[in-house]
Structure 1
Amino acid sequence: MSLNSGDPDRWRRFFLGANSSIFEIIEQVIGVAATDHSKEFRLLLSRIAEKLFSQHLSGCTCSHQIDEFYQND
């Protein structure tokens, strides 16, 4: 699999083949990247954080939905 592949189905197959939760994989990958590639990780950290917190990925399109989420917490 190309590391630059943006095809979500290819990545889904990759993660399914790992026999582990995608969230466990993410946690481990962050640790490995921070340890083994610390300079590059620091350079890309803001871009990674932006993706994590973007409304596009969360499926949220309205700010009131965010407010309702935290009020019900």
Structure 2
Amino acid sequence: MPMAAADIEALILAGIPDASVELTDLAGDNDHWAARVVAESFRGQTRIAQQKAVYAALGGRMGGELHALQLTTAVPTSAA
């Protein structure tokens, strides 16, 4: 069963409370998503560690309820 954007966002925010989450339904089927997750708590972490944090927040739903996720992570940029 596909996952709704609100469910994905809620899981990520529960695991990474300071995150900003942008989701795009890539195929229009609630089954193939692109996510951009930006969080200050990612600062100083490698991209791999950032992405592991997102996957941990999803609680093992990857490959099951959540079929495909194109994931981009970042730290907030400061205005100069």
The normalised TM-score by structure 2 is 0.30
More helix by share: 1
More strand by share: 2
The normalised TM-score by structure 1 is 0.32
